[in-house]
Copies of this chain bind each other. A is one copy, B any other.
Amino acid sequence: MTVDIALTTVVGNPKRLSRTLSTAEALTAAIGAELGAEPHPASIDLAELYLDGIEPPHDGFEHAVTRIAKGRVLIVGTPVYKASYTGLLKLFLDQLPPRALEGVLAVPVTIAASAEHRLLADLQLRPVLAELGASLPVPSLTLRESELAELPEHVGAWTEAHIPAIEAALALGRKPIGALA
Contacts from A to B (Cβ < 8 Å): 14, 47, 50-55, 81-96, 114-120, 123-124, 126-128, 130-132, 135-139, 157, 161, 164-165, 168-169, 171-172, 179-180
Contact B165 A82 (CB under 8 A): no
**How many copies of the shown chain assemble into the complex?**
4
A168–B161 CB distance below 8 A: no
| A30 CB, min distance to chain B CBs, angstroms | 16
Q: What would 8 more interface pairs be, CB under 8 Å, given A82-B96, A120-B127?
A: A50-B54, A52-B53, A82-B132, A83-B130, A87-B88, A87-B92, A130-B139, A137-B169
Are B51 and A50 neighbours in the complex by a CB distance under 8 Å?
no
Contact at B131–A83, with CB atoms within 8 Å? yes
Q: Is the CB of A87 within 8 A of B93?
A: yes
Neighbour of A165 across the interface among B117, B127, B172, CB < 8 A: B172
Residues of B within 8 A of A86 (CB): 87, 90-91, 94
Smallest distance from the beta carbon of A100 to chain B beta carbons, Å? 10
Say how far A20's CB is from chain B's closest CB, in angstroms: 13
Question: Does B137 lie within 8 Å of A135, measured CB to CB?
Answer: yes
Choose from B89, B116, B135, B164 the contact partner of A119 (Cβ within 8 Å): B116
A89 cross-chain contacts in B, Cβ below 8 A: 87
| 21 residue pairs from A and B, CB less than 8 Å apart | A14-B54, A14-B55, A53-B54, A81-B90, A82-B90, A82-B96, A85-B90, A86-B87, A87-B87, A87-B89, A87-B94, A88-B91, A88-B94, A123-B127, A130-B139, A135-B138, A135-B165, A161-B179, A164-B172, A168-B169, A168-B172
